[in-house]
Structure 1
């Protein structure tokens, strides 16, 4: 549970406690349990029961109920992508793919941190070479997130429970075999797209590893030498190819 939910739960508990103290404290509103007035006692007991129900329901919502998934178009940050993928983490038939996608996101952050460190050691941030590296790395990162967005778009077509039903050995007996086969083929086609995006991102991570090695072995900081680095050329080609397909 994240810190936001913890704060909301603590706020709910504090609010319910404050309301009970206000109403049941002698000398404030005059409601007393076990006093001479049957109406006051009934009101006090009703308040306690309702308070308990509110706490139980609020705790369930905050502790166990998954938050509504944000639309893919509204996803912006690394954390947003992690949260969106986690919605499918325990879905039967998707566990391995989602686990790999989450692992790739974590590795991307680590590699980005390592690249920032080594670039800071080798170059001044005002140098043209430094800006060239950073520009290419950032564009490749955006390609990586674009692939994650593609995964989420494909998964968003189905409810998570539908993926589980497709992988179950028990198929709906009320459907014809032809319809079941067509639905299964469509499901498998979507999973093939997911696998393709994961493979593309694994390739991006491999290129970032190669870039780390090439930077660490770089003898010259001349801009022209950097442009001729094999990995930089590979990344430039990947970026240009992706832009071509997006047009």
Structure 2
């Protein structure tokens, strides 16, 4: 993402320079400021327009926040990372976001390791390979579904109001109203903690799956579903099958 910003800004700089070279070069158009009133006005206007174009391009490239991608349109790992990164600037949430990003990176590493082990133990066409690979993909979807739910909640989080409510500085409202507000934020924090715990449970089950695969010499495809870790994973998937986003 940052690379694209630099490329766009570089394009604006090159285009601006080329236009100025063409306009002010004696061998081409040859506009000279001070030569006459029209040339001076045109030249000064072009210089100012060039400066404004560079400032505008810089602002859009580095300062203006892009419209967030709708949660339902998130597909890739980078989509989720990009959605989470703005919340790193929210002091109350920085720790939770750091843990979430770390969990997502660990998921990628664990999935790659599992797929490599499966590739060494089975042929891709084997039923055992397909069953294990299918479960790994479902577990991956489960973690990202959980992160998606977190992003939905994060986008409605108001840090300023949260600090005001938790510090009890606002005396304009009754204690009952303030308590209800506090309860909402406690519920939010509880949800975040539960989501991180769920993600960690998912990663732990992938570790168990890797351990069981690596220490068994042979598999009967019919017995794969009865492996302890597979039953645990299946139970986790069923528990969150209707998880609300």
TM-score by length of 1: 0.90
The answer to whether the 8 Å contact 1:93/1:164 transfers is no
Q: Which segment is superposed worse, 174-183 or 77-86?
A: 174-183
User: Which residue of 145, 163, 166 maps to 2:162?
Assistant: 166
- For the residues of structure 1 that align with 2:37 and 2:122, how far apart are their CA atoms? 81
User: How far apart, in 1, do the equivalents of 2:170 and 2:12 lie?
Assistant: 44
Contact in 2 for aligned 1:91/1:164 (Cα 8 Å): no
Q: State the 4+ residue runs in structure 1 displaced beyond 3 angstroms.
A: 27-30, 168-181
Q: Give, in whole Å, the separation in 1 of the partners of 2:137 and 2:71.
A: 21
RMSD: 2.0
Does structure 1 residue 151 correspond to structure 2 residue 150? yes
Q: Deviations over 1:98-132 (max 9, x none)?
A: 11111111111010111111111111100000000
- CA drift at 1:241: 2.6
1:40 and 1:198, CA in 2 relative to 1: closer, same or farther beyond 3 A?
A: same
Aligned residue number for residue 98 of structure 1: 97
Which residue does 1:89 correspond to in 2? 88
Match status 1:19 vs 2:15: no
Residue 189 to residue 13, structure 1, CA distance change in 2 (3 Å): same
Q: Partners of 2:182 and 2:69 in 1: how far apart?
A: 27
Q: Tell me which residue corresponds to 1:5.
A: 5
Q: Distance in 1 between matches of 2:32 and 2:168?
A: 59
Deviations 1:27-55 (A, max 9, x none): 544421232x0331232122112211221
1:67 maps onto 2:72 in alignment: no
Distance 1:244 1:22, change over 3 A: closer
Distance 1:28 1:175, change over 3 A: farther
Q: How many residues align?
A: 242
The 1:204–1:59 alpha-carbon spacing in structure 2 relative to 1, beyond 3 Å, is same
In structure 2, distance between residues paired with 1:126 and 1:41: 75
Change (3 A) 1:150 1:244: closer
- Partner residue, 2:131: 132
> For residues 1-247 of structure 1, what are the structure 2 equivalents within 5 Å?
2-35=2-35, 37-158=36-157, 162-167=158-163, 169=167, 171-172=169-170, 174-243=172-241
In structure 2, C-alpha distance between the alignment counterparts of 1:174 and 1:49, rounded to whole Å: 50
Change (3 A) 1:244 1:56: closer
Q: CA deviation at 1:223?
A: 1.1
In structure 2, runs of 5+ residues without a counterpart are: none
Query: How far, CA to CA, are the matches of 2:8 and 2:128 in structure 1?
Result: 48
Contact 1:111–1:209 (CA<8 Å) still a contact in 2? yes
Cα distance 1:125–1:76, how it changes in 2: closer, same or farther (>3 A)? Answer: same
TM-score (norm 2): 0.90
Point out where structure 1 has 5 or more consecutive residues left out of the alignment.
none
- 2-structure distance, mates of 1:123, 1:34: 80
- State the distance in 2 between where 1:201 and 1:170 align: 33
